[in-house]
Chains A and B, each alone.
Chain A
Amino acid sequence: MGGGGGRREAIERELHKLRAEREELDGRIRLLESQLEAEPAGVGGEGEGEGVVPVVGSCDGSVGCQSRGRNGFTPNGGLPADMIYRYSRHLLLPDFGVEGQRKLSQSSILVVGAGGLGSPVALYLAACGVGCLGIVDGDDVELNNLHRQIIHKESYVGQPKVKSAADACREINSSIKVVEHHHTLKPCNALEIVQKYDIVVDATDNLPTRYMISDCCVLLKKPLVSGAALGLEGQLTVYHHNGSPCYRCLFPSPPPVAACQRCSDSGVLGVVPGVIGCLQALEAIKVATAVGEPLCGRMLLFDALSARIRIVKLRGSSPDCTICGKNSAFTEQDFQKFDYENFTQSPMSDKTAPSVNLLPESARITCRDYKKMVDNGEPHILLDVRPMHHFQIASISPSLNIPLSVLEEKLPTLEASLKKAGAAPALVVLCRRGNDSQRAVRFLREKGFASAKDIIGGLQAWGQDVDPDFPVY
């Protein structure tokens, strides 16, 4: 007995070892397969905006999706042992179970934007075993992304966000298919990309793209899980699903440009898009598996500062909506030609700031000319009109900070400083990018400060052209 038991143990050990090796090999094979599928076959380079997408991204039953559809499931729909182990905590949920996991593994979800919202969305969707995960983003990883875009690591700074995000997802789960769409989503490529997926997650950072994605989802009949975050607040809803409105039902006309705050201007606390992104992943899973009640016809409003979450009831889809309404004449051709940037008067990017041009050339100087003024010792006052919390980040010394919003009431302070600065000092006005400084100079000239001039391009230009050590923010 004793000898037989020892031999048995040895065989079991050997079996255990071989199974572990097989699992490891399977993992490597899946990783290589998903990498192979992510490469556009026979295409050397990708042209931005040309709609070149990996052909295998198709998820409605074409070749690429056959392998995606199985995603670890055996042909008869049963779960193999390693998958049972990986997703056991999902399978133990009575409301979710094997059926939920199977539906998840057969679904394909597109995440538009690999930023603050898209990071947790992609990580969770990859981890939970969604069959096919597409990620669209045309940007590169920047150091100032990392405080909130937690999918990206320092070593990926300068590399495409889609690559960084897809690599992170594959590291977490090599058994799913991850497709990289290294493009900015635009009317010319959106239909082609979006049609390959069952569900779309809007994790973008600007208004025109939000209108575009909603219109695209209406045309292609895809549910849209939409999230947004700014400052210390977030919003979340599911559009165009189970009778819920589309974005245009809710907002038929775009807001004025001045009402469109951007993270790159107003700031955002990193964890806020993180919270909203996690909830987006949750809603996407609920839609994919038909488990629970998705946030259709309702909107979640998150206020981080007061730790309040409010869920409100929204109107249903509007029969008169120009896009999703009964009598809508909006076609795919109309969509491809629609100028969303013109419609919203704002750019399809969070980064390019709309710049104003309010002053004659004679009322402006370049930062290089200003540097010469300083070097020549010309008497002047440098007035910095940024908000105080901006001024505290970094400033040129010496300068006087009077925020634009209080300039009118603080004019006496400015007059006193000018008097102290000696005979006929120049008045030079500065801000972050050279927009508010123009508004300030226009106002100051109206108030009799005839010599006021603004520095073109503000501190951003100063950092680029004069002082490379000046901090960029």
Chain B
Amino acid sequence: MHLTLEFGGGLELLLENSTKVHKVEVPPKDGQATVTMRGLLTWVKDSLIKERPEMFVKGDSVRPGVLVLINDCDWELCGGLDAELEEKDVVVFISTLHGG
């Protein structure tokens, strides 16, 4: 499944060369037709995150302070971990900022 993943608010620092935008091909889990957010998080953690994974995930979800957006919509409105992704979806992971 083709997906565009974007990381921001400092989360990009956990990735190779601090690249913010990643166009990726994510395979569905064996026996499943689609990729869920749960599956995507595992894939991102294993395939993209280069350092300090605890800055990205906690338990089976993202760590507190990270907003997840599926096609510019809060993932809480799309089913959270169980949200099923579609071809060419854009998923944004953004850490909240506190500075000013």
Contact = CB atoms under 8 A, between A and B. Distances in A.
Contacts of B100: 113, 115-118, 203-205, 227-229, 263, 273, 276
Given A228-B99, A261-B10, A313 B73 contact: yes
A115 B100 CA distance: 7
A313 B99 contact: no
Contact of B63 (A256, A310, A315): A256
Contacts of A260: 98
B63 to A, nearest CB: 6
Contact of B55 (A203, A227, A256, A262): A256
Nearest to B55: A259
B9 to A, nearest CB: 6
B74 interface: yes
B72 interface: yes
A115 B14 CA distance: 29
A253 B67 CA distance: 12
B69 A312 contact: yes
Interface in A188-212: 203-207, 210
B54 to A, nearest CB: 7
A259 B10 contact: yes
Contact of B99 (A250, A251, A252, A262): A262
B55 A301 contact: no
B42 interface: no
B8 to A, nearest CB: 6
A251 B64 contact: yes
A254 B92 contact: no
B97 interface: yes
Contacts of A313: 72-74, 77
Contacts of A259: 10, 55, 63, 65, 95
Interface residues of B, number: 26
B64 A254 contact: yes
B94 interface: yes
Given A312-B73, A313-B74, A315-B76, A250 B97 contact: no
A230 B98 contact: yes
B48 to A, nearest CB: 17
Nearest to A249: B76
Looking at chain A's contact residues, the main secondary structure is mixed
B74 to A, nearest CB: 5
Contacts of B20: 303, 306
B10 to A, nearest CB: 6
Contacts of A251: 64-65, 96
Contact of B92 (A203, A228, A231, A312): A312
Interface string B74-100: 101100000000000000101111111
Nearest to A116: B100
A139 interface: no
Interface in B1-48: 8-10, 20
Contacts of B76: 315
A273 B99 CA distance: 9
B99 A256 contact: no
Contacts of A92: none
Contacts of B96: 228, 235, 251, 255
A255 B65 contact: yes
Contact of A258 (B55, B64, B74): B55
Given A250-B67, A312-B74, A233 B98 contact: no
Contacts of B67: 250, 299, 312
A350 B97 CA distance: 13
A466 interface: no
B37 to A, nearest CB: 15
A229 B95 contact: no
Contacts of A266: 10, 99
Contacts of A312: 67, 69, 72-74, 92
B13 to A, nearest CB: 9
9 contacts: A117-B100, A228-B99, A233-B8, A255-B66, A256-B63, A266-B10, A301-B8, A312-B92, A313-B77
Given A117-B100, A261-B98, 12 more contacts: A206-B98, A210-B98, A227-B100, A228-B96, A230-B97, A256-B65, A258-B52, A259-B10, A259-B65, A260-B98, A261-B10, A312-B74
Q: Please name the 9 residue pairs, one residue from A and one from B, whose CB atoms are nearest each other, closest first.
A: A255-B65, A230-B99, A253-B64, A228-B97, A117-B100, A263-B99, A315-B76, A205-B100, A207-B98
